[in-house]
Amino acid sequence: MTAPPRREPQPPGGGSVPSPRDATVRLRRLNRWQAETLREDLADLYVESFQARPGEEYRGREAFLRRLTGDIRRPGFALLIAEDTAFAGCAYGFPVRREGTWWRGFDGPLPRSVEQLTASGHVFAITEIVVHPHAQDPDLARRLQERLITDHHASLGATMVDQADAATCDAFLSWGWRDIGAVRRPPDPVTRRPSDPAVRRPADPAALRVLVLPLGPRTATRPDGLAHENRTQRPD
C-alpha cells in the first residue's frame, strides 16, 4: 500500500495562478461512477499539486491513476472532493476489514485498542490525500481526513507512509496523527515515495510507518482518544 501524497507548501498568492481568496471550499462526496468519470481531472489535480522534476510528471500521473483504479474496486471505497472555483483537493480510502489483514506485517504487538476498533469495524484507511498548493483553506487536508472518517462512523483513521519520507510523516503528525509503529511487507510491483511522484522500487521488504488518527473523546483514562470496547474480539 502506498502512502498518501504530500503537497508542496506555497506562499499565499504565489506562482502564476491567481488564488481565489474569497471562495468557499466545499466538500463533496463522489460515488464510484463519478470517481471513474473524473479520473483524468483528479490526475490533473495530482500533477498540479506536486513539484515534479522535468520528465516525471507523466510517470507520477500514471502511478496515481493506477492507485486510484485499484482502490475504487475495494469494498466501501469513498472519495471526497474539495472545490471552490475549481478542484482544490481530494482524499479517498476504504474501511479496514474486521479480520485485521490490513495490519499484516506489523512489527511487534498491535495496540489492543487498535485491534478492538478493527474487529468492531470502526477503522477507516485513508490511502491518498491531495491538496492544491493554491488552496486557501489551511485546514483543508485535516477537514478532508476527518470528514472521510466520520462519514463512515469510524473512530480511527489509519494510513501508512514510506519510512524514508520524514516530511510526509511530519505533515501527518502536525494534523494530529500518531505514529504507532511500522510494517514490513514485500513491495508492490511499483511504488512511489509521496514526496516524489517518480515511480521507485524500494528495498525488499518495504518499511512503512503506521499512523492513526483517533477521533474519540480524550479523557483522563484515554488521553490518546482511542476508544476501548470490551465487547470486541481480537482479529484473527
Domain holding 38: CATH number? 3.40.630.30
pTM for the predicted model, two decimal places: 0.76
Residue 219 falls within a domain, yes or no?
A: no
Q: What is the DSSP letter of 122?
A: -
Which element (helix H / strand E) includes 113?
helix 112-119
- Which amino acid is it at 163? Q
Take residue 146 and report the three cell numbers written for it: 476527518
Host domain of residue 164: 26-214
Residue 19 falls within a domain, yes or no?
A: no
| Helix, strand, or coil (residue 176) | coil
Task: Please state, in angstroms and as integers, the Cα–Cα distance from residue 200 to each residue in 1, 105, 153, 170, 191, following that order.
Answer: 14, 21, 35, 21, 6
Instruction: Give the pLDDT band of residue 14 (cuts 50, 70, 90).
Output: very low
**106 contacts 183 by C-beta, under 8 angstroms:** yes
Structure confidence by residue, pLDDT tens digits, 133-184: 888 788 899 999 999 999 999 999 999 999 888 888 998 998 899 999 999 8
Predicted local distance difference test score (pLDDT) of residue 8: 39
Residue 13 falls within a domain, yes or no?
A: no
Residue 225 falls within a domain, yes or no?
A: no
The total of structural domains in the chain comes to: 1
Residue 31 falls within a domain, yes or no?
A: yes
Q: What sign does the dihedral 135-41-70-203 (CA atoms) show?
A: negative
Residue 160 falls within a domain, yes or no?
A: yes
Residue 223 falls within a domain, yes or no?
A: no
153 CB-near residues (< 8 Å, 6+ apart) = 122
- Which amino acid is it at 211? L
Give the Cα separation of 190 and 199 in Å (integer).
Answer: 7
236 pLDDT above the threshold of 50: no
Residue 9 falls within a domain, yes or no?
A: no
Predicted local distance difference test score (pLDDT) of residue 187: 60
